[in-house]
Each structure stands twice: as structure tokens, then as C-alpha cells.
């Protein structure tokens, strides 16, 4: 991970968060409290300079040094901010008639409005990935910028994370947790990217984000089965040539897999059986118990010869691929950098407090005169 990039990202996020908070809260207070005096609006702005940078930095510090979700850190911090700003409004911006209510509403709007806008934009402009085999059509910024360095995967994995869930990150180079997958849940990897000896996968579907594929369980697929047993197939000798269509037929992804399809339409059944019988390259596989399975090379769905209607043969199998013995989270930024960010935010807050007192003193002196 490029620490300089992360530090720059943190400073940018702090500045952006502060600017958005100032704009939203000043506009809200202006209309909600009908506050028109410029000096009072400046005080509202300075109050945000006091509270916003330190809160953003503390939240990021927890995220960067632990696996705690940012959401759970921000909520209690926002509650503290509401109390602090309430006291500032009450003591320094005396024209605000409902300081507590104003603080709650202003902070609630400034916290949730950007999230709502981001959600609407992502829904409208497609912050999704279109999965079209090796062709990549995506709005993932990291994937777009590193398209030439990514490789198509298409593999399915089973989540295997710490604490009962697998955390997904914004990108292989940023440590923000954007989603999580319960352990044991299957997820699809679109593209992979290698960074510092670690293979990262871009998750698409119900869950989205980037995941370190170390220690994840690669779900066994029909292609893997075909490759593993490429030297064990025998010639087809009409094993199901005399098969009489009954109520259904079961087509398996591979022998004893957990995935299968049940066909009940007689025409579909006869069509698939005919395809097997008329192809000289039909696969025949004999499992460990001596049972025969056949599959058409056109789509590789397997039929259990002894009992084509039996669905009680599933035996979920995973191929455990350990790519690298690395921790599942990105490298953490050191406390030196976190300390630097805390110092910057404290300086910002101190400047805000200083100017608030200065503004109030000037205002008091003007009233005395």
C-alpha cells in the first residue's frame, strides 16, 4: 500500500467533509432559524471547523488501526458532536432560539444527505459491474484505472473471514470497509489484481467490493472437475441409450455437486438424452463407488446413469486454495501517520475555537459601545 497516497487521501477526505458540513449546516441554520446576520453564520461555520476535522480523524483512526466498521465509530461520535455544537450554539450564537433541536437536525442532515446523494447517483448512473465474460464494463474507479493489470476470473468462492464475516474493501489500495459477507456465503469474483504479492478479487453481485483472496475457499466448478479428471474419462458405450423418459431427469453441474437442475418437460429430456447418444465425444466418468456419470461435451451437465431422477447425491465439495499466508485485511497505516492527522485536526479545532472567541469578544465590545 502506498502510505503517501493514503495520507493524501485522508487529508482530502478531511477537507471535503469539512467543506460539505459547513455548506449544509450554514444553509440549514440560515433557513431554519432565519439567521441572517453574517457574524452569526460565520460562527456556525467556525463551530464546524472545531468539531468536524477531529471527528473525521478519530473515525478514520479506528478504521485504519482496527477492523471496526466506520459506521459503528461514527454514530457515537456524531452524538458527541451534537452535544458540543448544542453548547456552542447556546453560549455563542444566542440568536438561535432552539439550539439543541437545531444541532440535532443540522448534524443529521449533514451526515445523511451526502450518503443519500451518493446512493441516488450510484443507482442512477450505475455504480455496478456488468459481467460479460472477459469483457469488463464497470464503474469501479480502481478497476477502470487498472484495467490492463487485472485478469478475468469468473470463479465462485465461499466466504471465510475473521469474526464470522468477510470484509470487502473499496479497493486493494484503500482500507475502507464497504461491505461484508457472512462466512459460508458464495460470492463471485469478476477480476483479480495482484498487489505486493497478494491476490485481490473484485466481488460482484449482491455484495460488492474488493477482497483479499488469501484463505478464501474456491468453490469447485465443472471446469475444475473436467480438468482434474481429464485422464479418467472412458468412451461412451450407450449407457443411457435405452433410457425411458419418466417424470423428470436431474442434470448435475458435476458428479455429486451441490448444484443441479431438474427437468420435467419430456421434450427437453429427450433432446438432452439424444444429444448425449449422438455425440461420440460424450464424457463418461466412474466415481469412487463405481457409479457411472455421463455428460454432453456441449454444456457439461452430468446425468447419474443408475438413477437419473435421484437428487439425494449432493455432496458439497470445495477446493481449498491458499494463495498466500497473509492477513485478510490490507496493510494498516502506522500510528505515526494517524498521529500526524490527529495533530492537524487538533490545530484546526484550536483555530476554530480561537476565532469563535475572537468573534464573540468583538461582538460583545460592539454592543457595549
pLDDT tens-place string over residues 82-113: 998 898 888 888 788 899 999 999 989 988 88
Collapse the DSSP code of 91 into the 3-class scheme (helix H, G, I; strand E, B; otherwise coil) and give the result: helix
In angstroms, the CA 190 to CA 284 distance is 31
Average pLDDT over residues 214-222: 76
Residues 279-332: pLDDT tens digits? 888 888 888 778 888 888 877 788 888 888 887 776 544 333 333 333 444 444
Please state whether beta strands 302-304 and 217-219 pair in parallel, antiparallel, or not at all (unpaired).
unpaired
Where on the phi/psi map is residue 288: left (φ > 0), alpha (ψ -120 to 50), or beta? alpha
pLDDT of residue 327: 40
- Asked if 33 and 19 touch (Cβ cutoff 8 Å), the reply is no
pLDDT at res. 118: 64
Domain boundary assignment for the chain:
3-125+334-368, 129-219, 223-313
Confidence of residue 130 (pLDDT cuts 50, 70, 90): very low
Q: pTM to 2 decimals?
A: 0.47
**Confidence band for 245, pLDDT divided at 50, 70 and 90:** low
Alpha-carbon separation of residue 16 from 22, 184, 303, 308, 356 (angstroms): 10, 38, 59, 62, 22
Cα dihedral 142/148/154/159 (nearest 10): -40
Q: Between 171 and 11, where is the model more confident? A: 171
- pLDDT at position 104 is 93
Report whether 50 contacts 356 (CB < 8 A). Answer: yes
pLDDT of residue 169: 87
Q: Between 11 and 51, where is the model more confident?
A: 51
SS (H, E, C) 213-267: CCCCEEECCHHHHHHHCCCCCECCCCCCCCCCCCCCEEEECCCCCCCEEEECCHH
> So what's the pLDDT on residue 63?
64
E strand spans, 15-101: none
d(CA 146, CA 6): 17
Q: What is the DSSP letter of 148?
A: G
Best-predicted range by mean pLDDT among 4-8, 103-107, 175-179?
A: 103-107
Per-residue model confidence (pLDDT) at position 174 = 74
**What pLDDT is stored for residue 136 in this prediction?**
36
* Region class of 256: left (phi > 0), else alpha (psi between -120 and 50), else beta: left
CATH fold of 129-219, please?
SH3 type barrels. (2.30.30)
How does residue 231 score in pLDDT terms, banded at 50, 70 and 90?
A: confident
> Is the pLDDT confidence value at 222 over 80?
no
Q: With bands split at pLDDT 50, 70 and 90, how would you rate the model's confidence at 27?
A: very high
> Above 70 in pLDDT, residue 335?
no
**CA atoms within a 13 Å half-sphere pointing along the CA-CB vector of 329:** 19
Of 59-68, 106-115, 140-149, give the lowest mean pLDDT range.
Answer: 59-68
Amino acid at each position: 500500500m502506498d502510505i503517501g497516497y493514503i495520507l493524501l487521501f485522508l487529508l482530502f477526505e478531511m477537507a471535503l467533509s469539512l467543506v460539505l458540513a459547513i455548506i449544509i449546516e450554514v444553509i440549514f441554520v440560515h433557513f431554519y432559524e432565519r439567521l441572517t446576520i453574517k457574524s452569526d453564520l460565520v460562527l456556525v461555520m467556525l463551530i464546524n471547523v472545531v468539531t468536524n476535522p477531529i471527528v473525521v480523524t478519530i473515525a478514520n483512526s479506528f478504521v485504519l488501526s482496527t477492523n471496526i466498521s466506520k459506521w459503528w465509530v461514527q454514530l457515537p461520535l456524531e452524538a458527541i458532536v451534537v452535544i458540543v455544537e448544542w453548547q456552542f450554539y447556546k453560549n455563542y450564537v444566542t440568536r438561535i432560539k432552539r439550539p439543541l433541536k437545531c444541532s440535532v437536525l443540522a448534524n443529521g442532515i449533514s451526515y445523511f444527505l451526502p450518503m443519500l446523494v451518493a446512493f441516488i447517483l450510484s443507482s442512477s448512473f450505475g455504480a455496478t459491474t456488468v459481467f460479460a465474460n472477459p469483457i469488463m464494463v464497470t464503474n469501479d474507479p480502481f478497476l477502470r484505472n487498472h484495467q490492463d493489470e487485472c485478469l478475468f476470473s469468473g470463479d465462485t468462492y465461499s466466504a471465510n473471514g475473521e469474526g464470522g464475516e468477510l470484509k470487502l474493501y473499496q479497493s486493494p489500495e484503500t482500507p475502507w470497509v464497504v461491505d461484508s459477507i457472512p462466512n459460508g456465503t458464495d460470492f463471485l469474483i469478476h477480476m483479480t489484481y495482484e498487489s505486493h504479492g497478494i491476490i485481490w478479487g473484485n466481488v460482484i453481485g449482491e455484495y460488492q467490493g474488493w477482497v483479499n483472496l488469501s484463505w478464501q475457499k474456491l468453490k469447485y466448478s465443472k471446469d475444475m472437475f473436467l480438468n482434474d479428471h481429464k485422464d479418467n474419462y472412458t468412451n461412451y458405450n450407450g449407457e443411457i441409450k435405452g433410457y425411458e423418459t419418466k417424470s423428470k431427469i436431474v442434470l448435475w453441474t458435476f458428479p455429486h455437486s451441490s448444484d443441479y437442475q431438474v427437468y420435467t418437460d419430456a421434450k427437453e429430456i429427450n433432446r438432452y438424452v439424444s444429444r448425449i447418444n449422438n455425440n461420440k465425444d460424450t464424457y463418461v466418468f466412474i466415481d469412487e463407488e463405481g457409479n457411472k456419470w455421463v455428460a454432453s461435451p456441449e454444456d457439461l451437465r452430468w446425468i447419474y446413469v443408475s438413477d437419473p431422477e435421484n437428487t439425494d447425491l449432493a455432496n458439497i465439495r470445495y477446493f481449498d486454495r491458499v494463495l498466500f499466508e497473509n492477513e485478510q485485511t490490507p496493510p494498516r497505516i502506522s500510528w505515526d501517520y494517524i498521529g500526524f492527522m490527529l495533530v492537524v485536526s487538533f490545530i484546526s479545532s484550536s483555530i476554530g475555537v480561537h476565532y469563535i472567541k475572537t468573534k464573540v469578544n468583538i461582538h460583545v465590545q460592539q454592543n457595549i459601545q
